[in-house]
Amino acid sequence: MIECRRINKVFKSDILEGPTEVLKDVSFTIKKGETIGFLGANGAGKTTLIKTILGFIKATSGDILFDSHEMGNTREENLQNVGYLPERPYFYPHLKGREFLTLMGKLSRVEKVKFEQAISKWSQRLGIDFALDKQINSYSKGMLQRLGFVSTLIHDPKILIMDEPLSGLDPVGRREFKDVLSEVYRAGKTVFFSSHIVGDVEEICNQVVVLEKGSVVYDGLISDLIKTHSGSKVRFTVRGKVESLMGTSSNSFGNQSTSFLIEQDKKDNFLKEIINKDIDLINMSIENQTLEEVVYKIRKND
Amino acid sequence: MIELKTIWTISKYTFIELMKSRVIYNTLFLGFGLICISYIAAEFAYGVPQKVALDFGMGALSLSACGIALFLGGPLIKNEVESRTIQMILSRPVKRESFIFGRVLGMSLLLALNVSVLGLMTTSVYFFMGGEFQSLLIWTILFSLLESIILLNVVVLFSMFTTTTLSVIYTIIILILGHNIINSLELEMVKANSFLEGIIKTYSFIFPDLTKLNIKDFLLYDNSLSVSYLLKSTSYGLLYSGVILVITAWVFGRKDLE
C-alpha cells in the first residue's frame, strides 16, 4: 500500500550545531491487511517518518510511494484512504466534540449520512459518545485521545496510521483501543502504529519495523525476529539447592529447586553432567525471549 | 485546484470557533463602552456633539478591528502547527492553500461582524445626536474593515517565519509606518534627498499604504470624496490583501510542519 524508499531527512535547524540527520536511508513497505508496529526509542525518528509519509515534512531524499490501485493516484485520493492520529492530539478547544467530528467528516468528503452513522458507531465503541455535545476544552487527555481515534475512523479509511495511540490512556482505555485496533484489522484494514512500548506492539501486531537512531534495524515478522535473535536457551530445573554445575552458576533457586539457563549448544553436556552427578531433574524447557528482550538486545548490539 | 467547498467548510468552523472563544463579547462590551464615552464626550462639545461622537466611534471601531486582527491573527496558524491540530486537518484531502484561505476567510468574517456591530452602535449614537446620513459613513466603516483584513494578512504572513509575539510586533510597526510614512514625502528634508525619497517610495510600494484607507477626516470635515478615489482605495485594499494571502499560501505550501 505504501512504500518508503531510501528516505533521508536532515534538519538544518541550528546554524551553530550544523545539520542533524534524523532518518538514514529508511526503506520498508506497508502491505495491505497487515498490522505493523513501528518500534523505536524516543527520538529514534518515528514521528518524523510518519510526518514524511503524510507529507507534513519533505524528505531530503528518497520517495514515498502509494499503491495507486489501492490508494488512488493523487495526494488527495491517497489521503482519503488514510486515517491518521497524531501523538497527544489537540483539537479546537471551543468546538464541541460532535462539531469537530462533523468538520473532519466534511473535510474527508464523505456523505453526511455515512459519517454521522460512523460518528455514532465509533463514539459509542470508544466510550466518548456521552461527551460529544460538550466543548473540547473540558475533555481529559484520554477523552481527547478517544475523540481523535473516532475521527480517524469516520471516513472508513483503508489504512490507519497512528503515532503512539496508546500513550496517555488508563489501563481500561488501553484495552479498549487495542480491542478496536484488532477489530479494524479483522475487518481488513491495514494498521501501522508507532510505539516505544514493545509489549503493545507484540500484543497487537504481526509485523514490526524497528527504528534505531534513524535507521531501520529490523523489518519483518515479529516471530522471525524473536527466533533469529533470541537464540533460544534451555531452562533446567533440578531438585534441591545446587549452586553451580559445569561452571555455570544457578539462575535462581529456592529451598525446593534450582534452575539453570543454558545455551542450546551446551544443553547435551549439561544434561550428561546432571545424570553423572545423579541430580534429580524436575523440568527441562526451551526458554524463548520476549520481543522486548530481543529489541533491547538489538539496540545494545547496535 | 483550490476547492471552494473545503475553503468554506474551514472558514465556517474557524468562525464558529472564534465566536465561541467569546471575542464577540469583548466587541459588545467595547461597543457599549463606546456609546457611553461618545455620549459623555459629546456633552462637552460645543455645537457639534454628533461629530465628536462619530470621531470617537470610528476611532474605537478601527482600533478594535486592528486589535482583533493582530492578536487573533498572529496565533491563527501558528497555534495550529504547534498544537498539531493542523496535522489532523491536513491528513484529510485538504490542500494547504485551501486551509490558509479558509482560516483567513473565517477570521475575516469575524472582523466583518465586529466592524458591523461597532459600526451600527457608532452610527446609532451619531443619529441619536442629530447627525445626518452620508455615504462616507459606510465607506469609512468598510475601509476600517479593509485595513484590519490587510493587517490580518500581514500578521499571518509574518507568523510563517517567526514567533507569534514578533509577528504581532512587526505588524504593529507596519501599521504605524503605513499611516505615516507616505506623509514624510512632503518633508523638505526628504524632497531634497532623492535617495531617501526612493527608499520611502519603494517601502510604500511593498508595504501597505494605509493612508489610502483612512478617510475619517473627510467624513468629519469635508463630507465628500470622489467615487473614483473610493473605488481605487477599495481595489488597493482587496488587491493588497489578496497578494499577501497568495504569498502566505505559497510559503505555507512549502513549509515543513514539524
**Band (A232; pLDDT cuts 50, 70, 90):** low
Look at B84 and A86 and tell me if their CB atoms are within 8 Å: yes
Which residues of B fall within a CB distance of 8 Å from A155? 92
Interval A33-54 mean pLDDT: 89
Q: How far apart are CA A160 and CA A85, in angstroms?
A: 8
Look at B20 and A95 and tell me if their CB atoms are within 8 Å: yes
Look at B90 and A57 and tell me if their CB atoms are within 8 Å: no
Chain B contact present for A76, CB below 8 A: yes
Residue among A82, A104, A107 whose CB faces B6 most closely: A107
Interval B212-233 mean pLDDT: 85
What is the reported pTM? 0.84
Instruction: Give me the sign of the Cα torsion angle B224, B226, B227, B231.
Output: negative
Q: How far apart are CA B3 and CA B9, in angstroms?
A: 10
More confident of the two residues A129 and A18: A129
pLDDT above 90 (res B126): no
Look at B93 and A77 and tell me if their CB atoms are within 8 Å: yes
Chain B: closest CA distance from residue A16 (Å): 19
> Which grid cell sits at A295?
529489541
Cβ-Cβ pairs closer than 8 A, A with B, add up to 78
Interval B131-159 mean pLDDT: 92
Which residues share a beta bridge with A85? Answer: A162
The string of pLDDT tens digits covering residues B15-49 is: 999 888 877 787 778 777 877 887 787 777 777 78
- The pLDDT of residue A277: 85
> Which grid cell sits at A43?
527520538
Q: How far apart are CA A270 and CA B202, in angstroms?
A: 90
pLDDT above 60 (res B2): no
For chain A, the DSSP string reads -EEEEEEEEEE---TTT--EEEEEEEEEEE-TT-EEEEEE-TTSSHHHHHHHHHTSS--SEEEEEE-HHHH-SSHHHHHHTEEEE-SS----TTSBHHHHHHHHHHHTT--HHHHHHHHHHHHHHTT-GGGTTSBGGG--HHHHHHHHHHHHHTT--SEEEEESTTTT--HHHHHHHHHHHHHHHHTT-EEEEEES-HHHHHHH-SEEEEEETTEEEEEEEHHHHHHHHH--EEEEEEES---EETTEEPSEE-SSEEEEEE-GGGHHHHHHHHHHTT--EEEEEEEPPPHHHHHHHHHHH-
How would you classify the pairing of strands A190-195 and A35-40? parallel
Q: How far apart are CA A118 and CA A155, in angstroms?
A: 8
Q: Which residue of A has its CA nearest to B21?
A: A94
Nearest to A200 by CA among A165, A228, A153, A150: A165
More confident of the two residues B182 and A97: A97
How would you classify the pairing of strands A159-163 and A190-195? parallel
Lowest-pLDDT range of A78-87, A171-180, B17-26: B17-26
Mean model confidence pLDDT for chain A: 86
Chain A contact present for B13, CB below 8 A: yes
Interval A42-60 mean pLDDT: 90
Q: How far apart are CA A249 and CA A251, in angstroms?
A: 6
Interval A155-171 mean pLDDT: 89
Q: Per residue in B50-70, is it b (16+ CB within 10 Å) or e — as a string?
A: bbbbbbbbbebbbebbbebbb
Q: For residue B98, how far is the Cα from the chain centroid? A: 21
More confident of the two residues B40 and B14: B14
Interval B89-109 mean pLDDT: 94
- The pLDDT of residue A254: 67
Grid cell 533440578 is found at A238
- The pLDDT of residue B145: 95
Interval A81-87 mean pLDDT: 91
**Band (A50; pLDDT cuts 50, 70, 90):** very high
Chain B contact present for A79, CB below 8 A: yes
Q: How far apart are CA A54 and CA A163, in angstroms?
A: 12
Mean model confidence pLDDT for chain B: 88
pLDDT above 90 (res A117): yes
Nearest to A148 by CA among A117, A126, A121, A120: A126
Lowest-pLDDT range of A77-86, B32-41, B128-137: B32-41
Three-state SS sequence of chain B: CCCHHHHHHHHHHHHHHHHHCCHHHHHHHHHHHHHHHHHHHHHCCCCCHHHHHHHHHHHHHHHHHHHHHHHHHHHHHHHHHHHCHHHHHHCCCCCHHHHHHHHHHHHHHHHHHHHHHHHHHHHHHHHHCCCCCCHHHHHHHHHHHHHHHHHHHHHHHHHCCCCHHHHHHHHHHHHHHHHHHHHHHHCHHHHHCHHHHHHHHHHHHHCCCHHHHCCHHHHHHHCCCCHHHHHHHHHHHHHHHHHHHHHHHHHHHCCCCC
**Band (B160; pLDDT cuts 50, 70, 90):** very high
Q: How far apart are CA A233 and CA A176, in angstroms?
A: 35
Q: Per residue in A96-116, is it b (16+ CB within 10 Å) or e — as a string?
A: bbbbbbbbbbbbbbbeeeebb
The string of pLDDT tens digits covering residues B236-255 is: 999 999 999 999 999 999 98
**Band (B97; pLDDT cuts 50, 70, 90):** very high
Which residues of A fall within a CB distance of 8 Å from B88? 84, 86, 89, 91, 104, 148, 151
Residue among A75, A80, A89 whose CB faces B88 most closely: A89
- The pLDDT of residue A231: 61
The string of pLDDT tens digits covering residues A186-227 is: 888 999 988 877 778 888 888 889 888 888 888 888 877 777
How would you classify the pairing of strands A215-221 and A207-212? antiparallel
Q: Provide the residue count of chain B.
A: 258
pLDDT above 70 (res A123): yes
Grid cell 499560501 is found at B249
Lowest-pLDDT range of A133-137, A228-232, A279-283: A228-232
